[in-house]
Amino acid sequence: MGGVAGTLFVLWVRSGFSAATVAAALTFYPPLPTYTLEKDPNTAKHDYPQYNVKHFIAENTKLAGAARVYMVPTRVGNEVPCFVFRYPEAEFTIVFSHGNATDCGAMFSRYVSLSRELSVNVVAYDYSGYGGATGRPTEANTYCDIEAIFEFATKHLGYAADSIILYGQSVGSGPSVYLAAKEHRIRGLIVHSGLLSGIRVLTSSRALGCLDIFPNIDRIKRVSCPSLIIHGDKDVEINISHGKGLYEALPENCKVQPYWVPNRGHNDIGESHECRAEYMARLREYLLYLHDHS
């Protein structure tokens, strides 16, 4: 082995990484599904039958009726559940891509409160291999998943493309930035605890670029909507330098006041009592900005 490949190999060994550790650290940890779905028999003959959430594990079952669920086919033949939280007369629709170790059952009450407190529709989905979805979780599949959900939301649910705000949390920044870079009709993008790229979470060396996934830092330059970056300054899983780098890379006309959250880590923004009100207020401020600048 010589040339570039040999050099890469040496660097790779020196830096102590293997492809397996890179993949394991970067990719997906689907939890055991936290919910089950039951087809609504009255809709069995529709193009997209509806499903009801039958039960949650460790979630408030009383909320179950808050979402309509559909199974949406992706371009590569997987089926992913799409959870729709409608808010009457909403101006905006948030399409939410969650983090790597959760699913729509575990996220359910957050979606309900985003919808109710911000007066928006929330369209959430599970990646291939997560929750009630079929298939395997891979980087490429998450792109097909979000594309299928976007198309379903605009064509079947009837939400205007320019009412849609893509919201990516953590690993969800990957599919969200991917779509935002090529779908220029969307209204907004929120990147919450996101990453510059997979490999940059692990090392500042560029030598392992061949193993990289979710190159958000390159794609975010092609975004064309006002974009809100949110990151906790105590995040030890994805350092705040990732949020700051994404902010810097945004085109100037897409920059809105970022939200650097004091004393918060990777998974606790908007959840604990004291920072929740501030989090919601920042989101509301962003929606108002979008409303005023359309």
Ligand X SMILES: *[C@@H]1O[C@H](CO)[C@@H](O)[C@H](O)[C@H]1NC(C)=O
**Active-site annotation, residues:** 170, 235, 266
SS3 of residue 105 by DSSP: helix
Q: With CA atoms as reference, report the closest residue to 242 among 170, 179, 181.
A: 170
Applying CB under 6 A, the span of 13-21, 109-117, 235-243, 275-283 interacting with ligand X comes to: 235-243
Q: Which of 50, 93, 163, 170 binds ligand X (CB under 6 A)?
A: 170
The tokens describing 98, both together, are 């969650």
DSSP letter assigned to residue 220: G
Strands 68-73, 50-56: pairing is antiparallel
- The residues pairing with 229 across neighbouring beta strands, listed in sequence order, are 191
DSSP string, 140-185: HHHHHHHHHHHHIIIIIS---GGGEEEEEEGGGHHHHHHHHHH-TT
Residues 171-210 as x/- pattern, contact with ligand X by CB under 6 A: x-----------------------------x---------
- Closest approach, Cβ 128 to ligand X, in A, equals 16
Which residues in the 62-121 window bind ligand X by CB under 6 A?
99-101
Interaction between residue 237 and ligand X (CB under 6 A)? yes
Q: Which of 241, 263, 272, 294 binds ligand X (CB under 6 A)?
A: 241
Interaction between residue 230 and ligand X (CB under 6 A)? no
- Closest approach, Cβ 15 to ligand X, in A, equals 17
- Closest approach, Cβ 201 to ligand X, in A, equals 6
**Total residues contacting ligand X (rule CB under 6 A)?**
14
Interaction between residue 268 and ligand X (CB under 6 A)? no
- Closest approach, Cβ 156 to ligand X, in A, equals 31
Distance, in Å, from the CA atom of 242 to the CA atom of 258, rounded to the nearest integer, reads: 13
Interaction between residue 236 and ligand X (CB under 6 A)? yes
Interaction between residue 23 and ligand X (CB under 6 A)? no
Applying CB under 6 A, the span of 39-47, 52-60, 208-216, 231-239 interacting with ligand X comes to: 231-239
Distance, in Å, from the CA atom of 285 to the CA atom of 1, rounded to the nearest integer, reads: 55
Interaction between residue 61 and ligand X (CB under 6 A)? no
Q: Which is nearer to ligand X, 226 or 270 (CB)?
A: 270
Interaction between residue 29 and ligand X (CB under 6 A)? yes
Interaction between residue 169 and ligand X (CB under 6 A)? no
- Closest approach, Cβ 281 to ligand X, in A, equals 24
Q: Is 5 exposed, middle or buried (0-12, 13-18, 19+ CB in 10 A)?
A: exposed
DSSP string, 270-294: TTSHHHHHHHHHHHHHHHHHHHHT-
Give strand ranges (E) for the chain.
35-39, 50-56, 68-73, 79-85, 93-97, 121-125, 164-169, 188-192, 227-232, 259-261
Distance, in Å, from the CA atom of 235 to the CA atom of 264, rounded to the nearest integer, reads: 7
Distance of CA 60 to the CA centre of its chain: 23
Binding residues for ligand X, per CB under 6 A? Answer: 29, 99-101, 170-171, 201, 234-239, 241
